[in-house]
Amino acid sequence: MSNAPATTPLPPQYDPASTEATLYKEWLDAGIFTADPGHSRRTGGDREPFVIVMPPPNVTAVLHMGHGLNNTVQDVVIRWRRMCGDEALWVPGTDHAGIATQNVVEKQIAAEGKTRFDMGREAFVARTTEFVTETGGTILEQLKAIGSSCDWTRTAYTLSPELSKAVREAFVQLHERGLIYRGHRVIHWCSRCLTSLSDEEAEHSEETGALYHVRYPLTDGSASITIATTRPETMLADVAVAVHPDDERYKHLIGKTLSLPIANVEIPIIADAEGVDPEFGTGAVKITPAHDANDFEMGTRHELPMPVILSPEGLMANGIDAGARVPAELLGIDRFEARERVVQMLKHLNVLEKIEPYTHAVRHCYRCDTVVEPRLSDQWFVKMKPLAEPALQAVRDRKIRILPERWEAVYVNWLEGIRDWNISRQLWWGHRIPVWYCDSCGEVTVSRDDISSCPKCGGKARQDEDVLDTWFSSWLWPFSTLGWPNTESIDLKAFYPTDDLITAPEILFFWVARMIMGGFGFMGEAPFQTVMLTGTVRDMNHVKMSKSLGNGIDPLDVIKLFGTDALRYTVIAGLGMGADVMLDPNDLEKSFAPGRNFVTKLWNIGRFLLTNVGEETVQPLSTISPDRLRRSDRWILHRLNEAIAECDSALGPARPRNGVWEESELRSGLRLSEYTEAARRFVWNELADWYLESTKVRLAADGDDRDVARSVLAHCFDAALRLLQPIVPFITETLWSRLPVATENRGAFIAVAHWPAKNDGFATELEFELVREAINAVRQLRADYSLPPGERIHAHLDASASGSNASRDRTVFDEESDFIARITRCDISTNGGSSEAGASILLSSGSKIIVPLAGVIDLEKECKKAKTELEKLHTQLTALEGRLANPGFTDRAPANVVAAERQKLTEWTARREQLSQKVIQLCG
């Protein structure tokens, strides 16, 4: 890209389609997104590193609005830091997504009439690998389309050889530290995916079921106990009925035996204070240790047998210890069908007392939504308590902040009650557990390297069949992507710890909390200093967008229609901190209008500038002597300073000062919608609406002043483009490359240009504010009196009441008369008579704008309007006077507040005086 001014004028319409792909390629070719570890201060360089690791999308994922939103946020932040001079690194990558990917491939082969078991493990993994290689990573290409400025030379993949090594290292280290153990207990089992799940992967959802009351008769026939259950089919695996030891209803029955209907086995009545709430149901609990986590605990306490009556597929079966509990007619029946049948059988046996409707939370597989079955099995677990401690402490000590704040409480709450993490999955797609068993001597070996023979007896070593939870690789992401476990890795030294972690709240526990634990656990340091949780994209009914619900928006459709920048601007501008973004999938035109309109506006400002400023090089503002600046120049330069300050303040400090967030900065920054609004207001409402209009007269004339206007205009637009680059990188790059400003201080791309800095030389420009006031006044008068917009009108300035400002006011209006006349079609003379009748508006300087309007004014209407206004003012003034007369207020309120009120009193009193004169004049 060249800095030479354009030789062809800008086309009237911005065409994103023809520019975006080319531009993106130019950025890539120039390597501006590639970070250099040598530049990082941590490795002796002179730049602060600023690092974001991308939440890796599933390798099979296709871009949706959620990705669009989340990655745009990350890109805005990283582009901002890059311009600020940080060595900015955004690490992209994908997740192999164990269960999710396996499910996709299983579906494919199911269509061919096969199962993975028909294929065998090796062939299935090969097939999945092939699938992932061919179609996977599509999403990364799509992320390029939304402008993501990732360092693609560092693209990572959780199942790559490098990251697999990290996974194995992590497992072995935890094992060495005694934090990994094999447990035999009831876990969540998905009978469709045929794997165990972690607590987080088994999601609760409220369901209306039934509470079945079943009578179990005593074996001696003397009495019976009624139990309540939501899962009657599991009664076949009951091994006892527990009651509270102090429960008077049942005390005398403890120790006796019951005859379990259908299964026809004898089970004892036991007492358990911990596991039984006498208030609930009938106060008697059936104990099914193999199919309920709570019952498993009680079963363990009382050393009860644990018969299994369900197959892994969720079919009724006589498993371990079950004997012949499941009768022949139920064998092989699905658990839900079996529930119906058991209920029927209980009815026939006349032991079903009643069925109550009952709402309770049922766990579902987060991947296939199948109802999860509690199931007794052997799994590998990570002991989480020791890992959670530093993760909790880091947030309490403000080493890590979570935005928005409310999620911190959720985070703390979860970590305080953390339970051990089941990390083994009975899947084929993933990192195989690095544990080997020796069938000869029973030795269990945990190893970094594959082994084929037992290190103890030399017998054949057999690797554990299971793979690790996909999140076991994810929680290492902030350092595994930087080279860990090679602690000498230059990337690791230069870029760890990272800075911001930007993701959706759904994976706060799955991923974010575990990454923090992993960061401390393996690196001894927090993996990042800020967690920013973005909102959710929803439709107009506040329903979360999803492909399955059909209410999604394809970001690529939006890009095709309105361009990437319009998409980015719309989502960023609409995204309050942690707030959801509502978009209408049925009306893209309306949903993305803010972005499209803004981009068009920017384009047109650029067109005006390039046409009217001309193509000869503009002198840098620094070469313009301050005394050549006019009041409008000083005004816009001051507004620019304010805009820069507002953007900086909204974006906030990039990092904590000494590794710990100070209270005052803890909740500041990353308010992207505020930053966007500040930049928008400057470029649209100030630069375009006022300053640009004011330069039209100057640019049309020849002479020195034309060069001043050109310099200021170009300077301001240049700065505006820089402020906007992170949000709308493509159009700003396109326009910036054509700006005819001197080449000094410019790199090749705005994407790596310097972030604008405040220049404190420009104080508030009061004179130009006066001009704006006058213009607004004339506009209002024209609207109030319904004067045709095209009609040329005359007015005069009455400066007689403005005291010492009178001559200044007259000078200002004389000098700005061309501009005022052009913009309002109203000529203001400064030497007219002061007593002339007409509509008037008072300016803050005390001068008055008077439009002679004899004959045009509807006196009656005006009179009424003025009277209403006067009344309102009078009421407020009375209140104000009362307040100031109240010693309670004047004595206790802060002095500055009282002073402000006094000031107001003076102003209002003057205005009331003026208004009453007006009323007299109008109403007679």
Partner RNA sequence: GGGCGAGUAGCUCAGUUGGUUAGAGCGCCUGCCUUACACGCAGGAUGUCGGGGGUUCGAGUCCCUCCUCGCUCACCA
Positions in 387-446 near RNA (CB under 7 A) = 406, 409-410, 413-414, 417, 419
- Please, is 111 exposed, middle or buried when counting C-beta atoms within 10 Å of its C-beta (0-12, 13-18, 19+)? exposed
Q: What x/- string results for residues 625 through 664 when contact with RNA is judged by CB under 7 A?
A: ----------------------------------------
Query: Which residues, numbered 534-553, are part of the site for RNA (CB under 7 A)?
Result: 542
Size of the site for RNA (CB under 7 A): 92
Give φ, ψ of 651 to 5 degrees: -75, -30
* Other C-beta atoms lying within 10 Å of the C-beta of residue 488: 7
Among 783, 856, 910, 923, binds RNA (CB under 7 A): 783
Q: How far is the CB of 682 from RNA (least distance, A)?
A: 12
Beta strand pairing call for 156-157 and 93-94: parallel
CA distances from 924 to 713, 724, 874, 915 (A): 50, 55, 20, 13
Among 334, 693, 769, 818, binds RNA (CB under 7 A): 693
Helix/strand/coil for 453:
strand
Cα distance between residue 500 and residue 654, in whole Å: 9
Q: Rule CB under 7 A: say whether 812 interacts with RNA.
A: no
Query: Which residues, numbered 478-517, are part of the site for RNA (CB under 7 A)?
Result: 505-506, 509
**Contact status, residue 692 vs residue 654, Cβ threshold 8 Å:** no
Residue 308 or 692 with smaller CB distance to RNA: 692
- Please, is 311 exposed, middle or buried when counting C-beta atoms within 10 Å of its C-beta (0-12, 13-18, 19+)? middle
Among 92, 136, 278, 729, binds RNA (CB under 7 A): 278
**Contact status, residue 751 vs residue 721, Cβ threshold 8 Å:** no
Q: Encode 457-476: b = buried (16+ Cβ within 10 Å), e = exposed.
A: eeeebebbebbbbbbbbbbb
Among 789, 837, 859, 917, binds RNA (CB under 7 A): 789
Query: Which residues, numbered 357-386, are part of the site for RNA (CB under 7 A)?
Result: 360-361
**Contact status, residue 139 vs residue 71, Cβ threshold 8 Å:** no
Q: Rule CB under 7 A: say whether 889 interacts with RNA.
A: yes
Query: Which residues, numbered 824-853, are part of the site for RNA (CB under 7 A)?
Result: none
Residue 255 or 894 with smaller CB distance to RNA: 894
Q: Please, which residues have CB within 8 angstroms of residue 469's CB and are 6 or more apart in sequence?
A: 98, 198, 201, 421, 422, 423, 424, 425, 430
Q: How far is the CB of 835 from RNA (least distance, A)?
A: 27
Q: How far is the CB of 776 from RNA (least distance, A)?
A: 5
| Radius of gyration over every alpha carbon of the chain, rounded to an integer in angstroms | 37
Q: How far is the CB of 286 from RNA (least distance, A)?
A: 5
Residue 541 or 804 with smaller CB distance to RNA: 541
Q: Rule CB under 7 A: say whether 892 interacts with RNA.
A: yes
Q: What angle do CA 39, 40, 43 make, to 5 degrees?
A: 100
Cα distance between residue 343 and residue 359, in whole Å: 19
Residue 41 or 249 with smaller CB distance to RNA: 249
- Under DSSP, the state recorded for 521 is I
Query: Which residues, numbered 77-136, are part of the site for RNA (CB under 7 A)?
Result: none
Q: Rule CB under 7 A: say whether 677 interacts with RNA.
A: yes
Q: What x/- string results for residues 282 through 321 when contact with RNA is judged by CB under 7 A?
A: xxxxx-----xxx--x------------------------
Q: How far is the CB of 45 from RNA (least distance, A)?
A: 36
Among 51, 78, 415, 573, binds RNA (CB under 7 A): 573
Residue 195 or 198 with smaller CB distance to RNA: 198
Cα distance between residue 417 and residue 472, in whole Å: 20
Q: How far is the CB of 817 from RNA (least distance, A)?
A: 17
- Please identify, among the stretches 279-287, 629-637, 701-709, 711-719, the one whose residues bind RNA according to the rule CB under 7 A: 279-287
Q: DSSP H helical segments within 302-358, as ranges?
A: 335-348
Residue 218 or 507 with smaller CB distance to RNA: 507
The enclosing H or E element of 411 equals: helix 406-416
Among 440, 463, 776, 916, binds RNA (CB under 7 A): 776
Q: Please, which residues have CB within 8 angstroms of residue 665's CB and are 6 or more apart in sequence?
A: 652, 653, 656, 657
- Please identify, among the stretches 69-77, 147-155, 572-580, 804-812, the one whose residues bind RNA according to the rule CB under 7 A: 572-580
- Please, is 297 exposed, middle or buried when counting C-beta atoms within 10 Å of its C-beta (0-12, 13-18, 19+)? middle
Q: Rule CB under 7 A: say whether 252 interacts with RNA.
A: no
Q: Please, which residues have CB within 8 angstroms of residue 805's CB and are 6 or more apart in sequence?
A: 799, 845, 846, 847
Q: How far is the CB of 200 from RNA (least distance, A)?
A: 6
Q: Rule CB under 7 A: say whether 355 interacts with RNA.
A: no
Residue 413 or 548 with smaller CB distance to RNA: 413
Among 315, 388, 599, 866, binds RNA (CB under 7 A): 599
